[in-house]
Amino acid sequence: MGEGLVSKVKELLVKYKSFIRFAIVGVINTLVTIAINTLCNNVFHLYYKISWVFGFTGGVTNSYIMNKLWTFESKGGNAKKTAKEMLQFLTVNLISLGATTLGLTYFVENMGLNENIAQLPTIVISQFINYFGYKLWVFKK
């Protein structure tokens, strides 16, 4: 019975490999985003939307490198393919940035959440947009 369970777990890990890796990268990106955003908010006292853009940019930079090489294993290719991939990645992230900035504004200005707390549900929004954009468009095989 134990071998059957182990086999089933292995099967699920293989089947959902890219999603599991995306989730791990997402945690790391979230930590990068939160660290930069919180630093900009609380140390440099930047306007919360400006802080968000800096944090988001740091998370996106980390995201591109880790998702390209590890999550979706998009290696090699010529300069034209890489440039196209980077442009698509940037497009997905600009869409995500727009949606999350609207979300952040809503959470802060309409729901009265603190800027530091409001970034948490905002990051969840970006994870959905990014995963499907990367998987179905940017890094599709």
pLDDT in tens, 41-51: 999 999 999 99
Each residue's pLDDT tens digit, 129-138: 988 998 899 9
Contact between 56 and 40 (Cβ < 8 Å): no
Measured from the Cβ of residue 127, the count of other Cβ atoms closer than 10 Å reads 17
CA 91 vs CA 3, 75, 94, 105: distances in Å: 45, 20, 5, 21
* 40 closest CA partner among 115, 125, 120: 115
Instruction: Give the per-residue pLDDT at 5.
Output: 84
Instruction: Give the per-residue pLDDT at 13.
Output: 86
- For residues 7 and 141, which has the higher predicted lDDT (pLDDT)? 7
Measured from the Cβ of residue 49, the count of other Cβ atoms closer than 10 Å reads 12
